Structure 1
Protein backbone atom coordinates (compact mmCIF):
# COMPACT_ATOMS: atom_id res chain seq x y z
CA UNK A 1 0.00 0.00 0.00
CA UNK A 2 1.24 3.46 -0.89
CA UNK A 3 1.95 6.01 1.87
CA UNK A 4 -1.07 8.12 2.97
CA UNK A 5 -3.47 5.74 1.17
CA UNK A 6 -6.14 3.63 2.86
CA UNK A 7 -7.89 0.49 1.70
CA UNK A 8 -11.02 1.25 -0.28
CA UNK A 9 -14.36 -0.22 0.70
CA UNK A 10 -17.99 0.55 0.02
CA UNK A 11 -18.10 3.13 2.82
CA UNK A 12 -15.23 5.35 1.66
CA UNK A 13 -15.36 5.06 -2.14
CA UNK A 14 -16.44 8.34 -3.79
CA UNK A 15 -19.82 8.48 -5.53
CA UNK A 16 -19.24 7.99 -9.27
CA UNK A 17 -22.45 8.24 -11.28
CA UNK A 18 -23.08 7.51 -14.95
CA UNK A 19 -23.11 11.21 -15.82
CA UNK A 20 -19.60 11.70 -14.40
CA UNK A 21 -18.26 8.75 -16.39
CA UNK A 22 -20.03 9.82 -19.58
CA UNK A 23 -18.90 13.43 -19.21
CA UNK A 24 -15.27 12.38 -18.78
CA UNK A 25 -15.25 10.08 -21.81
CA UNK A 26 -17.10 12.64 -23.92
CA UNK A 27 -14.69 15.48 -23.11
CA UNK A 28 -11.45 13.49 -23.24
CA UNK A 29 -10.01 13.17 -26.76
CA UNK A 30 -8.27 9.90 -25.87
CA UNK A 31 -11.59 8.13 -25.31
CA UNK A 32 -13.85 9.23 -28.13
CA UNK A 33 -11.58 8.14 -30.94
CA UNK A 34 -12.98 5.76 -33.53
CA UNK A 35 -10.82 2.91 -32.27
CA UNK A 36 -12.43 3.02 -28.83
CA UNK A 37 -16.00 2.83 -30.14
CA UNK A 38 -15.75 -0.87 -30.75
CA UNK A 39 -16.33 -4.26 -29.24
CA UNK A 40 -13.01 -4.31 -27.39
CA UNK A 41 -13.97 -1.27 -25.31
CA UNK A 42 -17.46 -2.62 -24.66
CA UNK A 43 -15.89 -5.86 -23.46
CA UNK A 44 -13.67 -3.89 -21.06
CA UNK A 45 -16.70 -2.09 -19.62
CA UNK A 46 -18.64 -5.27 -18.85
CA UNK A 47 -19.08 -6.20 -15.22
CA UNK A 48 -17.73 -9.72 -15.51
CA UNK A 49 -14.30 -8.44 -16.59
CA UNK A 50 -13.96 -5.54 -14.14
CA UNK A 51 -15.24 -7.43 -11.13
CA UNK A 52 -12.80 -10.28 -11.69
CA UNK A 53 -9.78 -8.26 -12.86
CA UNK A 54 -9.67 -5.34 -10.41
CA UNK A 55 -8.14 -5.65 -6.97
CA UNK A 56 -6.01 -3.95 -4.33
CA UNK A 57 -8.03 -0.74 -4.48
CA UNK A 58 -6.74 2.07 -2.29
CA UNK A 59 -7.54 5.75 -2.02
CA UNK A 60 -6.25 9.06 -0.69
CA UNK A 61 -8.26 12.24 -0.12
CA UNK A 62 -6.77 15.70 0.06
CA UNK A 63 -8.57 19.06 -0.32
CA UNK A 64 -11.59 17.62 -2.16
CA UNK A 65 -9.44 15.58 -4.58
CA UNK A 66 -9.63 11.81 -4.25
CA UNK A 67 -7.01 9.59 -5.88
CA UNK A 68 -8.02 5.98 -6.29
CA UNK A 69 -5.47 3.36 -7.27
CA UNK A 70 -6.00 -0.25 -8.25
CA UNK A 71 -4.29 -3.17 -9.89
CA UNK A 72 -5.90 -4.61 -13.02
CA UNK A 73 -5.05 -8.16 -13.97
CA UNK A 74 -4.33 -8.60 -17.69
CA UNK A 75 -7.17 -10.33 -19.48
CA UNK A 76 -5.10 -12.80 -21.49
CA UNK A 77 -1.83 -13.32 -19.62
CA UNK A 78 -3.17 -13.51 -16.09
CA UNK A 79 0.15 -14.59 -14.58
CA UNK A 80 1.99 -11.46 -15.75
CA UNK A 81 2.35 -8.29 -13.70
CA UNK A 82 -0.91 -6.38 -13.08
CA UNK A 83 -1.44 -2.91 -14.51
CA UNK A 84 -1.53 -0.02 -12.03
CA UNK A 85 -4.41 2.35 -12.78
CA UNK A 86 -4.97 5.68 -11.02
CA UNK A 87 -8.18 7.65 -11.13
CA UNK A 88 -8.40 11.24 -9.90
CA UNK A 89 -11.79 12.61 -8.85
CA UNK A 90 -12.75 16.13 -7.80
CA UNK A 91 -15.40 15.37 -5.19
CA UNK A 92 -16.36 19.02 -4.71
CA UNK A 93 -17.36 19.44 -8.38
CA UNK A 94 -18.44 15.80 -8.91
CA UNK A 95 -16.03 15.45 -11.80
CA UNK A 96 -13.56 12.80 -12.92
CA UNK A 97 -10.28 14.56 -13.66
CA UNK A 98 -8.16 11.76 -15.09
CA UNK A 99 -7.35 8.08 -15.51
CA UNK A 100 -3.81 6.84 -15.87
CA UNK A 101 -2.73 3.30 -16.66
CA UNK A 102 0.95 3.27 -15.76
CA UNK A 103 2.26 0.09 -17.42
CA UNK A 104 0.05 -0.13 -20.49
CA UNK A 105 1.28 0.57 -24.03
CA UNK A 106 -2.08 2.09 -24.98
CA UNK A 107 -2.16 4.60 -22.14
CA UNK A 108 -1.32 7.54 -24.42
CA UNK A 109 -4.45 7.05 -26.52
CA UNK A 110 -6.92 5.74 -23.97
CA UNK A 111 -6.69 2.42 -22.27
CA UNK A 112 -9.15 -0.42 -21.80
CA UNK A 113 -7.95 -0.90 -18.21
CA UNK A 114 -9.04 2.65 -17.40
CA UNK A 115 -12.44 1.92 -18.98
CA UNK A 116 -12.77 -1.22 -16.85
CA UNK A 117 -11.79 0.70 -13.70
CA UNK A 118 -14.21 3.54 -14.42
CA UNK A 119 -17.14 1.17 -14.87
CA UNK A 120 -16.08 -0.82 -11.80
CA UNK A 121 -16.07 2.31 -9.59
CA UNK A 122 -19.43 3.32 -11.03
CA UNK A 123 -20.95 -0.08 -10.19
CA UNK A 124 -19.42 -0.10 -6.71
CA UNK A 125 -20.68 3.36 -5.83
CA UNK A 126 -24.25 2.30 -6.69
CA UNK A 127 -24.20 -0.62 -4.25
CA UNK A 128 -26.10 -0.12 -0.99
CA UNK A 129 -24.15 0.58 2.17
CA UNK A 130 -23.07 -2.37 4.28
CA UNK A 131 -25.45 -1.24 7.03
CA UNK A 132 -28.46 -1.32 4.70
CA UNK A 133 -30.35 -4.49 5.48
CA UNK A 134 -33.86 -5.24 4.31
CA UNK A 135 -35.71 -7.61 6.59
CA UNK A 136 -37.43 -10.47 4.82
CA UNK A 137 -38.89 -11.87 8.03
CA UNK A 138 -42.29 -10.28 7.62
CA UNK A 139 -45.76 -11.31 6.65
CA UNK A 140 -46.36 -11.08 2.90
CA UNK A 141 -48.61 -8.21 1.87
CA UNK A 142 -50.79 -10.46 -0.25
CA UNK A 143 -51.50 -12.82 2.68
CA UNK A 144 -53.40 -10.08 4.55
CA UNK A 145 -56.29 -10.15 2.05
CA UNK A 146 -58.54 -12.57 3.94
CA UNK A 147 -57.84 -11.36 7.47
CA UNK A 148 -58.22 -7.58 7.66
CA UNK A 149 -59.87 -6.61 4.38
CA UNK A 150 -61.70 -8.36 1.58
CA UNK A 151 -59.55 -7.25 -1.33
CA UNK A 152 -56.27 -5.46 -1.97
CA UNK A 153 -55.68 -2.69 -4.45
CA UNK A 154 -52.61 -2.25 -6.60
CA UNK A 155 -51.60 0.81 -4.57
CA UNK A 156 -51.62 -1.26 -1.38
CA UNK A 157 -49.52 -4.05 -2.93
CA UNK A 158 -46.85 -1.76 -4.34
CA UNK A 159 -44.41 0.28 -2.34
CA UNK A 160 -43.87 2.53 -5.34
CA UNK A 161 -46.25 5.35 -6.13
CA UNK A 162 -48.24 4.71 -9.28
CA UNK A 163 -48.74 7.38 -11.92
CA UNK A 164 -52.01 9.34 -11.67
CA UNK A 165 -54.78 7.99 -13.88
CA UNK A 166 -58.08 9.66 -14.66
CA UNK A 167 -61.03 8.45 -12.66
CA UNK A 168 -63.04 5.58 -14.11
CA UNK A 169 -66.07 7.80 -14.66
CA UNK A 170 -64.00 10.23 -16.75
CA UNK A 171 -62.38 7.38 -18.63
CA UNK A 172 -65.74 5.76 -19.25
CA UNK A 173 -67.23 9.05 -20.49
CA UNK A 174 -64.30 9.61 -22.85
CA UNK A 175 -64.65 6.05 -24.14
CA UNK A 176 -68.38 6.46 -24.87
CA UNK A 177 -67.81 9.82 -26.62
CA UNK A 178 -65.07 8.33 -28.79
CA UNK A 179 -67.23 5.31 -29.65
CA UNK A 180 -70.13 7.53 -30.66
CA UNK A 181 -67.83 9.72 -32.75
CA UNK A 182 -66.42 6.73 -34.60
CA UNK A 183 -69.88 5.26 -35.11
CA UNK A 184 -71.06 8.41 -36.94
Structure 2
Protein backbone atom coordinates (compact mmCIF):
# COMPACT_ATOMS: atom_id res chain seq x y z
CA UNK A 1 0.00 0.00 0.00
CA UNK A 2 1.27 3.46 -0.86
CA UNK A 3 2.50 5.39 2.15
CA UNK A 4 1.57 8.82 0.81
CA UNK A 5 -2.07 7.86 0.29
CA UNK A 6 -2.41 7.39 4.05
CA UNK A 7 -0.57 10.51 5.23
CA UNK A 8 -2.87 12.69 7.33
CA UNK A 9 -3.19 16.15 5.79
CA UNK A 10 -0.23 15.41 3.53
CA UNK A 11 2.16 15.96 6.45
CA UNK A 12 5.37 13.97 6.66
CA UNK A 13 5.79 11.99 9.88
CA UNK A 14 7.87 13.61 12.63
CA UNK A 15 10.57 10.95 12.24
CA UNK A 16 11.44 12.53 8.89
CA UNK A 17 12.00 16.04 10.22
CA UNK A 18 15.42 17.58 9.57
CA UNK A 19 16.38 17.41 13.23
CA UNK A 20 15.42 13.72 13.45
CA UNK A 21 17.39 13.00 10.26
CA UNK A 22 20.68 14.36 11.60
CA UNK A 23 21.68 11.21 13.48
CA UNK A 24 20.52 8.90 10.68
CA UNK A 25 22.41 10.95 8.10
CA UNK A 26 25.60 10.64 10.17
CA UNK A 27 25.07 6.88 10.43
CA UNK A 28 24.38 6.53 6.70
CA UNK A 29 27.55 8.50 5.92
CA UNK A 30 29.56 6.25 8.24
CA UNK A 31 28.00 3.17 6.57
CA UNK A 32 29.28 4.46 3.24
CA UNK A 33 32.87 4.58 4.46
CA UNK A 34 32.72 8.12 5.82
CA UNK A 35 32.55 9.86 2.44
CA UNK A 36 29.73 10.01 -0.10
CA UNK A 37 27.87 12.02 -2.71
CA UNK A 38 24.36 13.23 -1.90
CA UNK A 39 22.80 10.64 -4.25
CA UNK A 40 24.48 7.67 -2.55
CA UNK A 41 23.81 9.14 0.87
CA UNK A 42 20.11 9.61 0.08
CA UNK A 43 19.81 6.02 -1.14
CA UNK A 44 21.53 4.73 2.00
CA UNK A 45 19.36 6.89 4.25
CA UNK A 46 16.28 5.41 2.57
CA UNK A 47 17.60 1.88 3.18
CA UNK A 48 18.57 2.52 6.80
CA UNK A 49 15.23 4.08 7.71
CA UNK A 50 13.19 1.79 5.43
CA UNK A 51 11.54 4.82 3.88
CA UNK A 52 8.83 3.72 1.44
CA UNK A 53 9.74 4.46 -2.19
CA UNK A 54 6.75 6.74 -2.80
CA UNK A 55 7.76 8.82 0.22
CA UNK A 56 11.37 9.04 -1.01
CA UNK A 57 10.08 10.41 -4.33
CA UNK A 58 7.60 12.88 -2.82
CA UNK A 59 8.15 16.29 -4.41
CA UNK A 60 7.39 19.71 -2.99
CA UNK A 61 4.07 21.21 -4.12
CA UNK A 62 3.99 23.12 -7.38
CA UNK A 63 5.19 26.67 -6.82
CA UNK A 64 7.37 25.82 -3.83
CA UNK A 65 10.85 27.35 -3.80
CA UNK A 66 12.50 23.97 -3.30
CA UNK A 67 12.95 21.77 -6.33
CA UNK A 68 14.23 18.63 -4.61
CA UNK A 69 12.38 15.68 -3.10
CA UNK A 70 10.98 16.64 0.30
CA UNK A 71 12.93 14.05 2.32
CA UNK A 72 16.12 14.71 0.35
CA UNK A 73 15.71 18.44 1.02
CA UNK A 74 15.42 17.70 4.73
CA UNK A 75 18.50 15.47 4.59
CA UNK A 76 20.42 18.32 2.96
CA UNK A 77 19.20 20.67 5.68
CA UNK A 78 20.40 18.15 8.28
CA UNK A 79 23.80 18.01 6.54
CA UNK A 80 24.04 21.79 6.70
CA UNK A 81 23.43 21.70 10.46
CA UNK A 82 25.88 18.82 10.89
CA UNK A 83 28.47 20.85 8.98
CA UNK A 84 27.80 23.86 11.19
CA UNK A 85 28.38 21.60 14.22
CA UNK A 86 31.67 20.35 12.74
CA UNK A 87 30.49 16.73 12.45
CA UNK A 88 30.67 16.56 8.65
CA UNK A 89 32.63 18.36 5.95
CA UNK A 90 31.37 19.57 2.59
CA UNK A 91 33.72 19.13 -0.35
CA UNK A 92 31.50 20.87 -2.89
CA UNK A 93 29.58 19.36 -5.78
CA UNK A 94 27.37 17.43 -3.31
CA UNK A 95 30.24 15.50 -1.72
CA UNK A 96 30.30 15.08 2.06
CA UNK A 97 32.54 13.35 4.56
CA UNK A 98 32.37 12.47 8.21
CA UNK A 99 34.78 14.60 10.24
CA UNK A 100 36.94 13.14 12.99
CA UNK A 101 34.61 14.80 15.49
CA UNK A 102 31.63 13.18 13.75
CA UNK A 103 33.26 9.74 13.92
CA UNK A 104 34.01 10.27 17.62
CA UNK A 105 30.43 11.42 18.21
CA UNK A 106 29.12 8.08 16.88
CA UNK A 107 31.47 5.89 18.96
CA UNK A 108 28.88 5.15 21.70
CA UNK A 109 26.92 3.24 19.04
CA UNK A 110 29.83 0.87 18.41
CA UNK A 111 29.09 -0.93 21.67
CA UNK A 112 25.48 -1.64 20.76
CA UNK A 113 24.31 -4.72 18.96
CA UNK A 114 20.94 -3.77 17.52
CA UNK A 115 20.78 -4.78 13.83
CA UNK A 116 18.59 -2.39 11.85
CA UNK A 117 16.80 -5.18 9.98
CA UNK A 118 15.52 -6.66 13.23
CA UNK A 119 14.19 -3.42 14.69
CA UNK A 120 10.55 -2.45 14.87
CA UNK A 121 9.29 0.03 12.29
CA UNK A 122 5.98 1.85 12.21
CA UNK A 123 4.37 4.52 10.05
CA UNK A 124 4.16 6.87 13.01
CA UNK A 125 7.60 6.50 14.58
CA UNK A 126 9.88 5.00 11.93
CA UNK A 127 12.76 2.87 13.25
CA UNK A 128 12.74 2.21 16.97
CA UNK A 129 15.71 4.04 18.53
CA UNK A 130 18.09 2.31 20.90
CA UNK A 131 18.92 4.07 24.14
CA UNK A 132 22.33 5.21 22.84
CA UNK A 133 20.78 6.51 19.59
CA UNK A 134 18.14 8.38 21.54
CA UNK A 135 20.81 9.99 23.71
CA UNK A 136 22.90 11.00 20.69
CA UNK A 137 19.86 12.41 18.91
CA UNK A 138 19.08 14.51 21.97
CA UNK A 139 22.70 15.74 22.10
CA UNK A 140 22.52 16.76 18.45
CA UNK A 141 19.31 18.69 19.00
CA UNK A 142 20.74 20.50 21.99
CA UNK A 143 23.84 21.41 19.99
CA UNK A 144 21.66 22.89 17.25
CA UNK A 145 19.52 24.71 19.77
CA UNK A 146 22.71 26.09 21.29
CA UNK A 147 22.81 28.41 18.29
CA UNK A 148 20.03 30.46 19.88
CA UNK A 149 21.28 33.75 21.21
CA UNK A 150 21.35 34.11 25.00
CA UNK A 151 18.99 37.08 24.88
CA UNK A 152 16.07 34.84 23.97
CA UNK A 153 13.95 33.25 21.30
CA UNK A 154 12.95 36.57 19.77
CA UNK A 155 16.20 36.56 17.83
CA UNK A 156 15.81 32.94 16.76
CA UNK A 157 14.78 32.14 13.22
CA UNK A 158 11.41 30.58 12.50
CA UNK A 159 13.21 27.31 11.78
CA UNK A 160 14.92 27.42 15.19
CA UNK A 161 11.55 27.83 16.88
CA UNK A 162 10.06 25.04 14.75
CA UNK A 163 12.92 22.74 15.74
CA UNK A 164 12.49 23.55 19.41
CA UNK A 165 8.78 22.76 19.16
CA UNK A 166 9.56 19.52 17.32
CA UNK A 167 12.10 18.53 19.96
CA UNK A 168 9.57 19.22 22.71
CA UNK A 169 6.97 17.05 20.91
CA UNK A 170 9.53 14.25 20.57
CA UNK A 171 10.40 14.39 24.27
CA UNK A 172 6.70 14.29 25.20
CA UNK A 173 6.09 11.33 22.84
CA UNK A 174 9.01 9.39 24.31
CA UNK A 175 7.84 10.03 27.86
CA UNK A 176 4.33 8.94 26.91
CA UNK A 177 5.53 5.76 25.18
CA UNK A 178 7.64 4.73 28.19
CA UNK A 179 4.76 5.10 30.65
* TM-score range normalised by the length of the shorter chain: under 0.3
Provide TM-score, normalisation by structure 1: 0.25
Provide TM-score, normalisation by structure 2: 0.25
Larger radius of gyration: 1
- The structure whose residues are more often strand, as a share, is 1
- The structure whose residues are more often helix, as a share, is 2
